[in-house]
Amino acid sequence: MISFKQKVFSVVRGILAGEVLTYKEVAKRAGNEKAARAVGAILRTNFDPKIPCHRVVKSDGTIGGYNRGVSEKRRKLRRENAMVGK
């Protein structure tokens, strides 16, 4: 039985370089659009380099958080995407 959490990881793992999803989008793809907050909690407790969790940002365009520091996240996004938003 795959948990919501597993689903979230599958989705995030599938994000292509240059693609950025919001927590809400990830939640929707994982099966529950209203679980954006839970997605953050999940990505927070489970760090895994195979998962490009730095490509997940907030709906309002701000960067959100990151286990290894927001600066690091911003830097990675900047390398992959050209613009990160605000």
Partner DNA sequence: CATTTGACGCCAA
Partner DNA sequence: TTTGGCGCCAAAT
Q: Which of 39, 51, 53, 57 is catalytic?
A: 53
How far CA 54 is from CA of 13, 20, 24, 35, 48, in Å, comes to 11, 9, 15, 18, 11
Q: Is 13 an interacting residue with respect to DNA (CB under 7 A)?
A: no
Distance of CA 72 to the CA centre of its chain: 14
Is 39 within 8 Å of 79 (Cβ atoms)?
Answer: no
Q: Is 81 an interacting residue with respect to DNA (CB under 7 A)?
A: no
CB of 83 vs DNA, minimal distance in Å: 17
Residue 53 catalytic? yes
- Which residue ranges make up the site for DNA (CB under 7 A)? 3-6, 22-24, 32, 34-47, 53-54, 56, 58-60, 64-67, 73
Catalytic machinery residues = 53
